[in-house]
Structure 1
Amino acid sequence: MKSTPLNSLSLPASQEQEAAIRGHRQLATYLSAKLETQKISIQDANETAHQIELPTSALTILISILGELAAGNAVQVVPVHAELTTQEAANILNVSRPHMVKLLEEGQLPFHKTGCHRRVLFADLMHYKEQRENESLQAMQELTDRSQELGFY
């Protein structure tokens, strides 16, 4: 069975968190969003510096990754076109696998079958999750507005 990038997670060790904090600060200080590419310098084991040119978008993602590691969170990079199992999709939405299957069968999320197994595109899942979060925020705002109208705070 083909493994997806979501199969294993490990939390950063305290030394990794500290390095991530330093790296996050330093990289954020020097990042220029006005350039398409930027050059960074990396030292090898012999302390020889090597200059590497990277897309600014990749460095922006790296800053986000370092921020998450600094906070003690595990991080994984998932390609937008990755196919997820129903269990992986359910884990991301924090719902049960049977509930995830129900969402798919009701047409709430697009999916396709590989043999008899359902697969969900990561991009579709993230779109659904964002839509669900927006609906939740809107409902909470309506409740807040209604309680203020009625004098409840």
Structure 2
Amino acid sequence: MVALVAFTIHIAGMAVSHRTSSDKTSTKTSNAIPAPERSAAARVASLLLASSKKRQGIVQVIDADGKRQELPIALAEVMYRAAELLAEGRPVTVLPDEEMLSTQAAADILNVSRQYLVRLVDTGELPAEKVGSHRRLRAADVAALKTTRDAKRASALDRLASLSEDVGGYELGTKHRQKEP
């Protein structure tokens, strides 16, 4: 439970930065998650998973005074997913669904160029609003596109692997050489 409390404090203390392309003085910091933090996050994720299975979704935290507080299911799910991603070494940012993102911030989330993202907006594949001369995108819309795109990619890779298996692409050393007389 101590790890859960420490993780909760860590998450609560994280500031969600909203950088725009006009913020030229900001510098990117390393997104590498140190091994001790990854290990702690993995333990927290397993605690959250075990707790939710045992008590049908009830997760409690204990403060320094020993007082217990039950977490809402939505918060426990966010914490579990954040812990799971941190354990994998992937950086995490928590954004409200209605958060409006710049095209650069959305492109960073999707791991595409800003120009490509603008093309997606212009073709109607990704909804956006104009604020003056700038486009703004809802974080929920960007997340939905990312989920859909990732699912399509996974499906395509599964099909490719299946096709490779069908033609024997994964069989090593099965081709017999004919001996010369």
2:73 to 35, 52, 56: 56
The corresponding residue for 2:56 is 34
Quote the Cα distance in structure 1 between the aligned partners of 2:41 and 2:97.
Answer: 25
Q: TM-score, normalised by structure 1?
A: 0.74
The corresponding residue for 2:137 is 120
Are the counterparts in 2 of residues 20 and 67 from structure 1 also a CA contact under 8 Å? Answer: yes
Are the counterparts in 1 of residues 106 and 142 from structure 2 also a CA contact under 8 Å? Answer: yes
Q: TM-score, normalised by structure 2?
A: 0.64
2:97 to 64, 73, 80: 80
Offset at residue 112 of structure 1 (A): 0.6
SS at match of 2:97: coil
Identity of counterpart residues, as a percentage? 29
SS at match of 1:120: strand
SS at match of 2:60: strand
Instruction: Name the larger-Rg structure.
Output: 2
SS at match of 2:136: strand
Quote the Cα distance in structure 2 between the aligned partners of 1:19 and 1:144.
Answer: 35
Aligned residue identity for 2:46: R
Segments of structure 2 that go 5 or more residues without pairing to the other structure are: 1-15, 20-27, 170-181
Runs of 4 or more off by more than 6 Å in structure 1?
Answer: none
Once structures 1 and 2 are overlaid, which stretch shifts more, 87-96 or 121-130? 121-130
Specify whether residues 50 and 74 from structure 1 end up closer, same or farther in structure 2 by C-alpha distance, changes over 3 A only: same
Correspondence 1:22 to 2:43: yes
Are the counterparts in 2 of residues 5 and 78 from structure 1 also a CA contact under 8 Å? Answer: no
Quote the Cα distance in structure 1 between the aligned partners of 2:37 and 2:138.
Answer: 31
Aligned residue identity for 1:135: K
The corresponding residue for 1:66 is 83
Quote the Cα distance in structure 2 between the aligned partners of 1:135 and 1:72.
Answer: 24
Segments of structure 1 that go 5 or more residues without pairing to the other structure are: none
Offset at residue 54 of structure 1 (A): 1.6
Aligned length: 145
